[in-house]
Amino acid sequence: MSDETLHRALGLTDSEFEEICSVLGRRPNHLELACYGVMWSEHCSYKSSRIHLRRLPTEGPHVLVGPGENAGVIDAGDGIAIALRIESHNHPSAIEPYQGAATGVGGILRDIFTMGARPLAVMDPLFFGSLDEPRTQWLVEGVVSGISGYGNSVGVPTIGGELTFDPCYQANPLVNVLCCGALPSDRLVLGIASGVGNLAVLLGSLTGRDGIGGVSVLASAGFEGADGAESLDDAKRPSVQVGDPYEEKRLIEACLELLDSHLVVGIQDLGGAGLICATSETAARGRVG
């Protein structure tokens, strides 16, 4: 693949590539371009939705943590706080509905327990095209099974949701997952890296080849055509992560036990953007990079 087309394969537009060259003062190498593709993806940067999200209220007498962290946290009184997060997994679910929806649940659970909260419940607002279409039926079955299967395996129930069918969602279904968790207010931990000499420890499942390009190749790409068929090819399926709810259950218990020990300075969910995103986010919040 030529350098002239590589940035497009990584989800970057021509204008974004020109801006990268301007910032660096030269053409980026392949590693730098891959990093930009991840960090400037819709999944990580919210470049098309940020302008709308800024209109929402974010402050209040009971708000302990607002935008910028893994999850929002509100004061419930009596020394108890509630962590809340909602996230979409639209493109992965349209490519591989079961794993796309399942890993959406896995990601939202990580956002909750990395705040120090135990995940308690999941909800799923879902929006699909016409139910008469065979592709919609395939998507619904896979998405619902993925959400329930992952949640049941990890021990977090799906307590409600929303299901809407409309032709406007035929090309691009909306798969949203919301999770809430509870924590003692004094156990609240933020994703901030600070303190010279502190160790950075990576915890979780083994790294595989699944999910590579999941936030750049998928999240920044649009679906073409009336039914999205042009984007639903086998080549994109490896970009969807494969979930492991039993490993995440162990990870939840291990992290909460570590947080109870007060040995952790900061903790960050390692999502689809990998180490480049997790390390830069924690360093930026700690003003150390």
Q: Give the DSSP per-residue string, 55-107.
A: TS----TTEEE-TTSSSEEEEEETTEEEEEEEEE-HHHHHHSHHHHHHHHHHH
Closest-CA residue to 248 (of 175, 179, 150, 148) = 150
Neighbouring CB atoms inside 10 A of 76's CB total 14
Instruction: Kindly name the residue from 7, 30, 43, 262 that is annotated as catalytic.
Output: 43
Contact call for residues 147 and 105 (beta carbons, < 8 A): yes
Q: Is 89 a catalytic residue?
A: yes
Catalytic residue among 30, 89, 91, 262: 89
Angle at the Cα of 191 (from 271 to 256), degrees rounded to 5? Answer: 85
46 vs 39, 49, 178, 219, CA distance in Å? 10, 5, 18, 10
Examine the residue annotation and report whether 43 is marked as an active-site residue of this protein: yes
Which residues are tagged catalytic? 43, 89
